[in-house]
Amino acid sequence: MEAARSKPKLDMEKIVSLCKRRGFVFQSSEIYGGLASVWDYGPLGVEMKRNIRDAWWRANIRQRDDMVGIEAGILMHPQVWVASGHVATFADPLVDCKVCRQRFRADQIPGDRCPNCGGELTAARMFNLMFKTFMGPVEEDASVVYLRPETAQGMFVNFLNVLNSTRKKLPFGIGQVGRSFRNEITPGNFIFRTREFEQMEIEYFVKPGTDEPLHERWIEDRFNWYLDLGMKSDNLRLRPHSVDELAHYAKACTDIEYLFPMGWSELEGIANRADYDLQQHSKHSGKDLTYFDEESSTHFFPYVIEPAGGVDRMLLAFLVDAYDEEPDKEGIRVVLRLHPSLAPVKVAVLPLSRKDPLIAVAKDILGNLRKTWSVQYDDAQSIGKRYRRQDEIGTPLCVTVDFETLNDNAVTIRDRDTMGQARIAISDLVPALSQRLGVC
Amino acid sequence: MEAARSKPKLDMEKIVSLCKRRGFVFQSSEIYGGLASVWDYGPLGVEMKRNIRDAWWRANIRQRDDMVGIEAGILMHPQVWVASGHVATFADPLVDCKVCRQRFRADQIPGDRCPNCGGELTAARMFNLMFKTFMGPVEEDASVVYLRPETAQGMFVNFLNVLNSTRKKLPFGIGQVGRSFRNEITPGNFIFRTREFEQMEIEYFVKPGTDEPLHERWIEDRFNWYLDLGMKSDNLRLRPHSVDELAHYAKACTDIEYLFPMGWSELEGIANRADYDLQQHSKHSGKDLTYFDEESSTHFFPYVIEPAGGVDRMLLAFLVDAYDEEPDKEGIRVVLRLHPSLAPVKVAVLPLSRKDPLIAVAKDILGNLRKTWSVQYDDAQSIGKRYRRQDEIGTPLCVTVDFETLNDNAVTIRDRDTMGQARIAISDLVPALSQRLGVC
C-alpha cells in the first residue's frame, strides 16, 4: 500500500506561512482572533481556487457529452436529510474530559482517560455533524433547516428536473461545485479539514450491471486529472476501501490519496453507491424517480457512481506538490512549480526602470496581455528580487522590459522552472506566451 | 425619474416556465414540495451564472490594476456582526395576524388590520434577518455564529491582510463573489428576492476627499458593464437615494435599477460608505486599520466606495431583457437574444441525419469546438425544431452538418438573431466562430 516515497517532504508550517505572507490563505476573521477552522482565500488563493474549479469544470462537465452541471442551494428541504440518512446517522461519538473540559472524538483516542490531562472522560454521546438554522421568523422545530453537509443531495433531488429538461440518456452525470458545512469535533491540518469547505462532486447515473466497469473508468479518469495538472505520481495513490469501511449501501469505494505533510490522506473518494439514494428519495418524496429505458422498455433505479473531492484540500495538495527550495548564490530560491493552468498569475510584466519611456511600453504590454491572462505588474526593487517574488507564487513566465526594448521592440521572457531567458519581439509576444502556457 | 418605457414588457410567468422547462432554474427540493424562496440552477442556468460571474471578474478584478479578489467564509466571527451593526439593527418590523396567523412586514402594509383576512394584528416586533447557527458540539450562546447577510464584511476584516500581502496603494479595491443569507419576512418575485442568494461586491478604498469623483466613476463603470453585456438602456436607470433613505453613516448611494416584470427594482447599489466600516472594526477588534500615506506621511481611515450587486437578480434581468417573441410561419419564435458572453451554450452542432458518415464528421467538429466553448450536440427531430430549441436558450450560432459536407468539407453557420446562414470550410470554422462570438 505504501508508495516508494512515504516520508512527508515538508512542514505544513512552511506552506501556512507562505500562504499568509503572499495572500493565498488567511485565517478567517483574524483581527478578531480568528474563527476556528474557517479560512479565507486571499488575492492569489482565490485565483488559484478559481483555476482548480475551472480545470475541473472543463474536464468533467464542459468537454463531456454525458455530463451537465447544476448549482443547488446550500439550504434544502429538511426531509432531504431524513431521506439521505443524515439526520439519523451523520454523527460522531463525542466525549468530554471531566477535568480539563476538552472534547474528543471517542473513536480517535485510545483508552478512557483524557489524552490531554489524563482526566476521566464522560460516556460517549452521538453528536450530529450538521449545522442547523431556522428559516422564517420564528425559531420552532417546524422551521429547522440544515446547512448541507455535502452537495451530493442537490443532484439527487434534481435528477428528474435534469432528466426532463435535458433529455439525457443513461449513462449520464450531474456535477456541482459548492460550499458544504460539517460541525467537525476535531478539524485541523490547515485547510485540509475545516467546518466550512468547498466540494466538487459528480453523481453519474448508470444502468445496473454496467456500474463496475464505469466505476473503474471514473477512478482512472479522476486519477489522471491530477496527473494532467502536474501532480507527481509518487505522491498519489489509490486506496480501495475494505468491506468493513464501506457505508452499508455502498458496493465499493476507492479513495485517491495524497502524501500531505501529515501523511497519506484522502483527496477524493469515488464510490459506487448502487441505487440507494434514488430509492430513498423516491420512498420519502412519493415521487417516481425510476428511469425508463427505451431499449428494454423497463423502469428501474439507476446505479450511481460518485467521484467527490474537496477543493480546499486539492489546493493544499497542489501547493505542497509544487513547493520547492533550491540553493542558489543568494541563498535559497523558493519556487512553486505549479502547472500553468493552476498558477494564480500567468505572466508578470517587469520594467527594468520606473522611468517614463519604459513604463509606457510596459503598461501597454500589460494591458494587452490582460485581455487573455491574469497578469501582475511589478516595478519595485531589483529585477532579481522581482523574479524571486514571482517564483515564490508560481508565476510561469516573466516579461522583462529593458532599455534595449526601446531600440529593438523586443522583450525578455524568463521561465520560472529553467530560469532560461529568450528575446522575443513584442509583436510575437502573445503567441509566444500562448505556446509556453498552453490552454489556461 | 421614469424612463420612456415604463410598462413591464412580459409576465414573470413566461420566464419562470421557460427557466424550468429548459433547465435554467428549478424550485429547490421540488420533489419535497419545495423550500420557500430558495432556487436551484439547472444545467443551462449554472452555465449562464458562471458566465455572469466570469464577465464581472474579468472586468472588475482581472483587467484592473487597482483591484484584487478574495473569497471569505460564509461563517465569520460573531463580533464581525456586532461591529458592523448587523446584530443591533439588521432587522425588519414583523407583525402577525391574530386570526389567520399570516406574517407581514409592518412597514409594507397599510393600516393595522390583516391585508389577508382583515383580522387584528399583533404589535410590531423587530426581527433580525440574520440566520444563526451553532459552531462546535454544544448549543450555547457562546458558540452562536451567523450566516453572513452580505459578503462585504469579508473584505473589511481582510483589509490589513490584503494590504500587507499585496502592497497595494490607495486607491485600490477588493472584490468578492459568494452566497449570502437573509431570513426575509416576505421574499418573492422568483429569483429576485430570496433567502439564499449570491452577491458580487466591491469595497474600493480611497483617500478621503477623493471619494466623490471616484464614486461617480464607479457608478458610470458599473452602469456601462450592463450596457456592454447587451442590456437595453431603456430598461436601465440610475436612482440616487434621497437623504432620508441613506444609512446613517453613508454619504451617498445610487442604485442601478432594471425594469423587471414587477416594475423598476434594484439591480445593484453603489454607496459611498465613508470610513464607517474600518472605524468600527478598528474599534471592536482593537487593531489599527488606518492606512499610512507615504506622500503626506499621515495615517487615516480610507473612505470606501461599495458597488454591490446580486447575481441572481442580474441573471433574471439578463433573461428578461433578452426574451423576445417573433411571429413566423410556424407560429411564434421564442428567442433569447443574450450577449454571446452570457449565452449558456455558444454553439450547437446539428448533423442533418443520424447516419454514420455525418455523425462522425459532426462529432469530430464537436470535439474540436469543445476545447474552446460550451457546445451542445443535437440530432433529434427536424432541423427547424432544433434551431427553435437553440433560439429559446439563446445559443448565438448553430453549425449544421449536411450531406453536402461530405463533398465540400464545409458546414453552414446559422445566426440566432438574423437567422442568416453562411457556408464555411470546416478548416476555417474556429476563426469564423471566434470572430462572430468575440471574447467569451
Residue-wise pLDDT for A169-195, tens only, equals 999 999 999 999 999 888 889 999 999
Contact across the interface for A166 and B43, Cβ inside 8 Å: yes
b/e for A124-161, b at 16 or more Cβ within 10 A?
A: beebbbbbbbbbbbeeeeeeebbbbbbbbbbbbbbbbb
Of the candidates A332, A378, A371, the one whose C-alpha atom is nearest the C-alpha of residue A354 is A378
Residue B132 has, within 13 A of its CA and on its CB side, a CA count of 19
pLDDT of residue B272: 98
Question: What value does the mean pLDDT of chain A take?
Answer: 94
Largest CA distance in chain A: 80
pLDDT (tens digit, 9 = 90+) per residue, A39-81?
999 999 999 999 999 999 999 999 999 999 999 999 999 999 9
pLDDT of residue B142: 61
Identify the bridge partners of residue B203 per DSSP, sorted by sequence position: B174
Contact across the interface for A161 and B284, Cβ inside 8 Å: no
Residues of B within 8 A of A279 (CB-CB) are none
Do the beta carbons of residue B315 and residue B52 sit within 8 Å?
yes
b/e for B319-350, b at 16 or more Cβ within 10 A?
A: bbbbbeeeeeeeeebbbbbbbbbbbbbbbbbb
Res A1 pLDDT > 60: no
Residues of B within 8 A of A166 (CB-CB) are 23, 43
Res A4 pLDDT > 50: no
**Number of C-beta neighbours around residue A312 at 10 A:** 22
Contact across the interface for B371 and A439, Cβ inside 8 Å: yes
Res A110 pLDDT > 80: yes
Contact across the interface for A132 and B137, Cβ inside 8 Å: no
Confidence label for A141 from pLDDT (cuts 50, 70 and 90): low
pLDDT (tens digit, 9 = 90+) per residue, A224-248?
999 999 999 999 999 999 999 998 8
Do the beta carbons of residue A175 and residue A202 sit within 8 Å?
yes
Distance CA B247, CA B254 (A): 12
Residues of A within 8 A of B22 (CB-CB) are 165
Q: What average pLDDT score do residues A189-215 get?
A: 97
Contact across the interface for A36 and B135, Cβ inside 8 Å: yes
Confidence label for A401 from pLDDT (cuts 50, 70 and 90): very high
Confidence label for A112 from pLDDT (cuts 50, 70 and 90): confident
Confidence label for A37 from pLDDT (cuts 50, 70 and 90): confident
* Interface mutation target, options A17, A24, A40, chain B, most CBs of B under 10 Å: A40
pLDDT (tens digit, 9 = 90+) per residue, A267-279?
999 999 999 999 9
pLDDT of residue B329: 83
pLDDT (tens digit, 9 = 90+) per residue, B293-337?
999 999 999 999 999 999 999 999 999 999 999 998 878 999 999
Domains and CATH numbers, chain B: 12-90+129-319 (3.30.930.10), 345-437 (3.40.50.800)
The ipTM (two decimal places) reads 0.95
pLDDT of residue B55: 97
Residues of B within 8 A of A151 (CB-CB) are none
**What does DSSP say about strands B410-415 and B421-425: parallel, antiparallel, or unpaired?**
antiparallel
Task: Give me the helix-helix angle, A159-166 and B43-57, nearest 10°.
Answer: 90
Which residues, given as ranges, of chain B have pLDDT below 70? 1-9, 137-142, 439-440
**What does DSSP say about strands A397-401 and A347-351: parallel, antiparallel, or unpaired?**
parallel
Q: What average pLDDT score do residues A101-114 get?
A: 87
Q: How many CB pairs under 8 A join A and B?
A: 226
* Interface mutation target, options A104, A143, A158, A370, chain B, most CBs of B under 10 Å: A158
Q: Give me the phi and psi of B92, to 5 degrees please.
A: -115, 155
Task: Please name the member of A42, A94, A135 whose beta carbon is closest to the beta carbon of B183.
Answer: A135
Contact across the interface for A157 and B103, Cβ inside 8 Å: no
pLDDT of residue A311: 98
% of chain A with per-residue pLDDT over 90: 84
Res A138 pLDDT > 90: no
Contact across the interface for B70 and A46, Cβ inside 8 Å: yes
Task: Please name the member of A76, A162, A185 whose beta carbon is closest to the beta carbon of B23.
Answer: A162
pLDDT of residue B139: 59
